[in-house]
Amino acid sequence: MARCLVGGLLNTGWQPTDILVSDPDSEQRKFFESQLGVDTTADNSTVISACQIVVLAIKPQIAKNALLALQATFQTHHPLLVSIIAGLRERDLRRWLAAEVPIVRAMPNTPALVGSGAAGLYANQYVGEIQRDEAESLLRAVGLTVWLKDEDLLDVVTALSGSGPAYFMLFMESLEQAAIEHGLAPETAHLLTLETCLGAAKLAMESRDSLSELRRRVTSPGGTTERALEILEREQLGEVLKTALDAATKRARELGEMLGAD
């Protein structure tokens, strides 16, 4: 995701000299330098001292130790901290830093890799309006952003757009396989599945009508779509998806509590 963000920023007009990347892995640093043209360092404190915006893009399991080691630096410098770590609460990030740090939590998703991400953002009380704009611009470099007033709603965003690409992949896998079993060549079934999914999403994005209205327009009485939808409704697809979203939201909350525990 860090590579994706850097690439997105460069594509939207940022200069390589505007970006500094810290990574303990020399191979990762070499990639950023050779492929993206940005400067790198192995020292996290150097980034915090030099930058106005710091993106925290590390594994949740190492976040605590990484931030505890940076307490003194954050108490001297007060950059905007944008955390894209799933689950970790603002209160825990701030507690480990032992400072009143402006923090924006962001939950991006993997389609950000192709510039079509969707990210939910939450700002703590120390984030000013200019910093909110900066955080939004940062994430908009790789897709759509929405602001949330309640941090707990990030768990729902995690379950919806964070995990959501996997739900759609499973749905597309199933459609593709069913079409193959009915005689379509695998390549044809794959292409039609992807284009149908993309087209449906684009149609919904560009229309002012609700999803239910768009679905109604496609469903001719007595036709093939109606027959298929009857099966999906009979099998309670809506309830299955609700149960899945409930489970993912609950798990996001559980992970947040686990990761933030001392």
Give phi and psi for 98, each to the nearest 5.
55, 45
Confidence of residue 235 (pLDDT cuts 50, 70, 90): very high
Task: Report, as an integer, the average pLDDT of 52-66.
Answer: 91
Confidence of residue 57 (pLDDT cuts 50, 70, 90): very high
- CB distance 89 to 252 below 8 Å: no
pTM for the whole thing? 0.88
Give phi and psi for 38, each to the nearest 5.
-100, 155
Domain with CATH 1.10.3730.10 in the chain: 164-256
Give the C-alpha separation, 154 to 148, whole Å: 8
The backbone region for 102, taken as left when phi is positive above 0, alpha when psi lies in -120 to 50, beta otherwise, is: beta
Task: Choose the CATH number for 164-256 among 3.30.1330.60, 1.10.10.60, 2.30.42.10, 1.10.3730.10.
Answer: 1.10.3730.10
Give the C-alpha separation, 154 to 152, whole Å: 5
Give the model's pLDDT for residue 87: 86
Give the C-alpha separation, 67 to 208, whole Å: 45
Yes or no: domain 2-158 corresponds to CATH 3.40.50.960: no
Give the model's pLDDT for residue 262: 67
- CB distance 80 to 56 below 8 Å: no
Domain with CATH 3.40.50.720 in the chain: 2-158
